[in-house]
Structure formats: C-alpha cells, structure tokens
Amino acid sequence: MTDSEEDYFVFADDEDFEPTSAYTPGGFCLIRLGCILGSPPRYRILAKLGHGSFSTVWMAHDRVRHQNVALKIVEARRTSKSQEMEILQRLKAPRANVVQLLDVFEHTSPNGIHQVLVMELLRPLHYTRWEFRPIFVRTVLRQVIEGLEFIHSRGIAHGDLHPSNVGATMPEIVPLSVKEVWDCAGRPQTLAVVHSSGDLNMNSYPPYLCETLDMEEFFLRQGAGTGVAQRPLSIRILDLGDAYIVNESSSPKCITPTGYLSPEVAFAQIALGDENAPWDQRSDIWSLAVCIYGLICKKNLFSFVREGLLHEMMMYCGEVPDAWRLYVRSNPFPQGDVPGIVQADKLWKAKEAALEWYGIENPPGLVRLLRRMMNLDPSKRPTAAELLRDPYFAGLWHNGRLLLFKKYDGREEVWKAGLPR
C-alpha cells in the first residue's frame, strides 16, 4: 500500500489480503463468494486460495464435472500477454507431476477481460504446519524432480521454483458447497472495501476482500479420521506464470525470490545491476536444490537479503569463480569466512546433521545430491533427467518397478529398473 492509497481506503494496511491497488481498470477481477463463472455458468466460487502479482486464485465447484477445482483469474492487462495457458497446454499429461489445466475461458469484469485458467485443486506444501513424513521424503523429492524433468523435456524453463510452488493433489476431498467449505474451515474473514475520501471509481473495487483459505487446516479437518495425512503424496509443480519456451523466446525478467535465485542471475542482478539477466533450465536446477532444502527443513538455506547472498553461495560451493573476483575485492568476505572446499564441507556437515534430526533417510546421500545441483557453473549442473538416476533414489519403487543403481562412480551413474512388483 502506498501513502496515497491509505488516504483513499479506511482499511488499507492489512497484509493478509491482496492490495486494493490491484483493483484498477486492467487489474484484478472483482469476485464475490458464491458467484458462478463460465458461459454457460459452471464454476461456483467457494473460497479464495491466494493471490500473486498478476492473479487471484479461487476454489470453485465445477457443476459439470462435480469436482472442486482452482480458478486462476489473471489480471486484465496481462490476459493477452500471458504465455501460461500455452505452456500449461504443452504440459498436459494426467500422470505428470505438473499441475494440470482442465479448462480455459474469459470472464469480463468492470476492470476488463480476464483469462481464467481452471486447474486441479492442490494443497501447496509451503505451510509451516505441513509435516514431511520422513518415510515419504525420497518419493516426494523424486516426484518433484520428475515434474521438473517433464517441464524441461517439453523445452520449458520454470523460473520460479520455491516451496510455495510445489503442491499435492487432494483426491480425498469431496466436492462441497460454499457453506460446507466454511463450516469446515471456519467463518471466512472478509474486509469491507470502504473508501474514505477522493473521487474513486468504486466500480473497479469488490465490495469486500476475502481471507485466504488455510488449505492445510481445511485438508486436515476434511480428512480427519480417514488417515489421509498418513498416505503418500501425489506431487505437482505449479505456477507456470513466469515460465517460457526456451528455444522460442528470450527469458523474461527473473522474478524468483532472492534466496532461490541461481548464482548466474543473482550475480548479474546484485553485482552488475542487470535485472534482465538470461536464465534457463540450468537455473531451475539450482533453485530446485534450495527449494528441496526448504521443503524438508522449513528453513531457508540462503538469506533473503541481497547483500551477502553471493558470499553465502561461494561459501557453500567452496570456490570463488574468476568472474566474481572483482566483486569480492570490493565486497570482501566477513572476517573468518574463507571460501574453500574444507569450509564448504563443514557447512554441509551441519546441514547433514539437520536432515538427520528430521529423520530423513540417508542424509549424506541427499546432501551429495544437493551439492551436485548447486554448482556455481551452470554448465556443470546435472540435468533433471540425470538427477533421476542419482543413487539417492536407489531402492525406490517407481511405476511398479524397483529402481536399482550400480555404484556411483564419478559422473557415471548406471541404473536399471527391476522386475515389476
């Protein structure tokens, strides 16, 4: 919220809601709980699931398929520019670990024409109360990497990998009415949009802003007594709003949150002041490693302050790339920090202990996987397909076959699938 907006609205500073400033001509779509979207009317809005920079996302009941879905309603000015629909269409494959697009339509509001992407309803995994059951960690990680491998195999780079963009399907949740959703989740908090002065065109604003449904709470209450929380998860990578097709266009501006930025992008942005640095699938591999650590430990591997981020990366990788030496000369390491392989090994030993504490299987194997992914030189990072053959995943059942690995030997990983179960 800017100062001037505070002058316009009585409740302008509540950070739990999307910014009122996004409701302008060309901006967010006005939505009320219970309204029905689609032509003919098909999707009844049940609850708000979240908002991003360019969209609001809602849980809705599909009256044709009799299932609950997620509607991503894109701001009007981005509707004609967004590549997300094209990308999601390229990624259609019901068994893939990537969010599936079910339908697309346009909806007109006083703020313009909005693209509406109908997607499977997911349970994002970023919530702090979400518990990674150690026994499922390897299967979950393998599915995340399979999702990324699928995205990359279609020529697409994701560009915004972080724990909030990893979700799990919720087949156990039965379709519900608006009332049933809120009986289960508790009364939704709404914030009346009341302007205090000025001659605003109030047609651009919804009558109220809606609290985001706490999906984790909702999921656990809905599934209470059925043991759903104990079952293995079916994972999906979501939010392809910033993805691009690598051989068909140049990379858009990278909007990955600071702590998940790849070193090539972080260096360009921080040291060279170049916010439009190119990035591709190799950058995704780095971000995924940081994301995996965040998913398991619920802690960020790197700080979210730009200052010092490059130093942290060098410490964890144990080297100073030649191209970074000038930067290091003018921004020396804090006293006592000496980047080198011995120091890096020490840092990762501590991380190994943290993973051990979480009860994760084979922490040294996981650390070795993460270190393979986190190479400062993008050309030396393994591809997602290569990661799937990492010995960390040996002994996992996959598609009815047991994955077997021969001894890991340098860069040569040999593997085969065992006999069907």
Ligand X SMILES: Nc1ncnc2c1ncn2[C@@H]1O[C@H](COP(=O)(O)OP(=O)(O)OP(=O)(O)O)[C@@H](O)[C@H]1O
Binding residues for ATP: 72
Point out which span in 46-54, 297-305, 321-329, 356-364 binds ligand X (CB under 6 A).
46-54
Q: Give whichever of 219 and 302 is closer to ligand X, judged by the CB atom.
A: 219
Contact status: 38 vs ligand X (CB under 6 A): no
259 binds ligand X (CB under 6 A): no
187 — phi, psi (to 5°)?
-60, 130
CB of 165 to ligand X, least distance (A): 7
SS3 of the chain: CCHHHHHHECCCCCCCCCCHHHCCCCCCCCCCCCCEECCCCCEEEEEEEEECCCEEEEEEEECCCCEEEEEEEECHHHHCCCCHHHHHHHCCCCCCCECCEEEEEEEEECCEEEEEEEEECEEECCCCCCCCCHHHHHHHHHHHHHHHHHHHHCCEECCCCCHHHEEEECCCCCCCCHHHHHHHHCCCCEEECCECCCCCCHHHCCCEEECECCHHHHHHHHCCCCCHHHCCCCEEECCCCCCEECCCCCCCCCCCCHHHCCHHHHHHHHCCCCCCCCCCHHHHHHHHHHHHHHHHHCCCCCCCCCCCHHHHHHHHHCCCCHHHHHHHHHCCCCCCCCCCHHHHHHHHHHHHHHHHHCCCCCHHHHHHHHHHHCCCCHHHCCCHHHHCCCHHHCCCEECCEEEEECCCECCECCEEEEEEC
Please work out, in degrees rounded to the nearest 5, the angle formed at the alpha carbon of residue 161 by the alpha carbons of 160 and 167. 120
Q: Using the rule CB under 6 A, is 61 a contact of ligand X?
A: no
Smallest separation (angstroms) from ligand X to the CB of 72: 6
Task: Evaluate the omega torsion of the peptide bond into residue 40 and state whether it is cis, within 30 degrees of 0.
Answer: yes
Exactly one of 173, 238, 266, 388 binds ligand X (CB under 6 A); which one?
238
Q: Return binding residues.
A: 72
Which single residue is written with the structure tokens 């960390």? 392
Q: Examine residue 241 and tell whether it contacts ligand X (CB under 6 A).
A: yes
Tell me whether residue 119 or residue 296 sits nearer to ligand X (CB atom).
119
| Residue 119 binds ligand X, judged by CB under 6 A | yes
In the bound complex, what is the minimum distance in angstroms from residue 103's beta carbon to ligand X? 13
Q: Do the Cβ atoms of 381 and 359 come closer than 8 Å?
A: no
Q: Which is nearer to ligand X, 119 or 384 (CB)?
A: 119
Does position 99 interact with ligand X (CB under 6 A)? The reply is yes
Residue of 27, 38, 52, 147 that binds ligand X (CB under 6 A): 52
Based on the shown chain and the rule CB under 6 A, indicate whether residue 122 belongs to the binding site for ligand X: yes
- Does 160 help bind ligand X (rule: CB under 6 A)? yes
- Binds ligand X by CB under 6 A, chosen from 20, 55, 143, 256: 55
Q: Which listed residue (12, 30, 49, 388) binds ligand X by CB under 6 A?
A: 49
For residue 22, give the nearest of 60, 49, 46, 56 by alpha carbon. 56
Q: Looking at beta carbons only, is 98 or 394 nearer to ligand X?
A: 98
Span interacting with ligand X, options 108-116, 146-154, 233-241, 297-305, rule CB under 6 A: 233-241
Residue 102 sits in the site that holds ligand X (CB under 6 A): no
Report if residue 173 touches ligand X, rule: CB under 6 A: no
CA 385 to the chain's CA centroid: 20
Q: Nearer Cβ to ligand X, position 70 or 388?
A: 70
50 binds ligand X (CB under 6 A): yes
Asked if 121 interacts with ligand X (CB under 6 A), we say yes
Using the contact rule CB under 6 A, the part of the chain among 44-52, 131-139, 188-196, 402-410 near ligand X is 44-52
Q: Judged by CB under 6 A, which of 57, 88, 118, 292 binds ligand X?
A: 57
If binding means CB under 6 A, how many residues of this protein chain bind ligand X? 22
Residue 28 interacting with ligand X (CB under 6 A): no
* By the rule CB under 6 A, 252 interacts with ligand X: no
* Distance of closest approach, residue 68 Cβ to ligand X, in angstroms: 10
Give the interface segment with ligand X, choosing from 87-95, 116-124, 400-408, 411-419 (CB under 6 A).
Answer: 116-124
Q: Is 54 in the site for ligand X (CB under 6 A)?
A: yes
Rounded to 5 degrees, φ, ψ at 405 are -130, 145
Q: Are 193 and 9 in contact (CB under 8 A)?
A: yes
Q: Give the nearest distance from C-beta 57 to ligand X in angstroms.
A: 3
Binding site for ligand X (CB under 6 A): 49-55, 57, 70, 72, 99, 119-122, 124, 160, 164, 238-239, 241-242
